[in-house]
Amino acid sequence: MSQQQQTLEGRVALVTGASQGIGLAIAQQLAARGVRVVMLARSKDKLDQAAAAIGDTAIAIPTDVGDPDAVRSAFKMVADTFGRLDILVNNAAIGYLGKVENLTDEAIASHMNTNVSGMVYCCREAIALLKQSDCADIINLSSDSVSDPFPYLTLYATTKGAVEVFTKALRRELKPDRIRVTLMRPGPTVTGFAETWDQELAAEAFQVWQAAGYLHTGGDGGGAMDTDTVANTVVFIVSQAAATYIEFVEVRPH
């Protein structure tokens, strides 16, 4: 192993949105390297199945990260079970499709609660445990929609912009505590993100995106990555020696 990398064996990680997609891939890749993984997501059945497939090194805690009491309970379970936490990956996010003028109160609140408040709640509860680690990491996942926001996904891009500002400020706040805080901005990735979109509205949105040239082609952003590409980047970040600090990573398909 390189002197710039360290083993992950025996470390404890918590991953949100871990029942599917990027979050599940991150949990799988960490567990494969000997990390004990706590998996959070709202869907109990799907989460339990995902954790069971990983094996004994994974623990499922059904949690709505937008509920502060649920987050407190989840982190208390982590403290009671392991007495430590080394890695927090804030991946949980939702992205409803729609024009701003048609957004419901529920859609606005859900975006803010899951994508922003949920991240803050998890960081707040994690910090005391992370301070006890000899190499602690927080990784907050943003989106390339911050640098290239699409209409019909305005609210999603806005919440991810908030993730980026929060992450930068938190990094400065936690630097004296030697807790590494990394912002990760994945490009297009094959997930189930769009599965719940209304098909008629999605067709309308794609027509607008295509006409305006938002759907890039070629090596500057065409295609999409698989979830393991993103997960392996997370593994790379947390494997760095304690003296190495990775502030920002953007991963895009070639």
Catalytic residues: 156
How far is residue 105's CA from residue 108's CA, in Å, rounded to a whole number?
A: 5
How far is residue 114's CA from residue 106's CA, in Å, rounded to a whole number?
A: 12
How far is residue 194's CA from residue 223's CA, in Å, rounded to a whole number?
A: 16
How far is residue 114's CA from residue 193's CA, in Å, rounded to a whole number?
A: 14
How far is residue 202's CA from residue 218's CA, in Å, rounded to a whole number?
A: 23
DSSP reduced 3-state for 179: strand
* Residue 205: partners with Cβ closer than 8 Å, 6 or more residues away: 97, 150, 151, 152, 153
| Phi, psi of 126, deg, nearest 5 | -80, -30
Instruction: Evaluate the CA torsion angle 90, 95, 99, 102 in order and state its sign.
Output: negative
How far is residue 175's CA from residue 2's CA, in Å, rounded to a whole number?
A: 25
How far is residue 199's CA from residue 241's CA, in Å, rounded to a whole number?
A: 46
The residue assigned the tokens 């995106």 is: 209
How far is residue 30's CA from residue 9's CA, in Å, rounded to a whole number?
A: 9
